[in-house]
A = this chain, B = another copy of it.
């Protein structure tokens, strides 16, 4: 079951660089583990912004929230999740 999730990161401008780097590193590892597991299907950078567009494939709303709410950057992000489903014109088997 697919969701488009858009995340905008707003780190405080006075956060020490090493603190920010450590959070981003954990975020990256966590994201990559979820990508390997097939839960986080796609992640793209929005050009010119500290933001991403992602596609998640989860079993339920609850699973999506459980994944998002423990993101290391969660306290610093604005997140919008939008439920998707198969488009009748799609020819791609896994666009569902």
Residues of B within 8 A of A14 (CB): 12
**Interface residues of chain A: helix, strand, loop or mixed (majority):** mixed
Oligomeric state, in number of copies? 10
Chain A interface extent, by class: 35 or more
Q: Is the CB of A83 within 8 A of B61?
A: yes
Q: Is the CB of A83 within 8 A of B31?
A: no
Interface residues of A (CB under 8 A from B): 1-5, 12-14, 27-28, 31-32, 35-36, 41-50, 52-53, 55, 60-62, 64-65, 68-69, 75-76, 79-92, 95-96
- Please give 11 more A-B residue pairs, beta carbons under 8 A apart, in addition to A28-B88, A41-B92, A45-B85: A3-B47, A5-B48, A13-B75, A35-B90, A43-B87, A43-B92, A44-B85, A46-B83, A47-B64, A48-B81, A50-B69
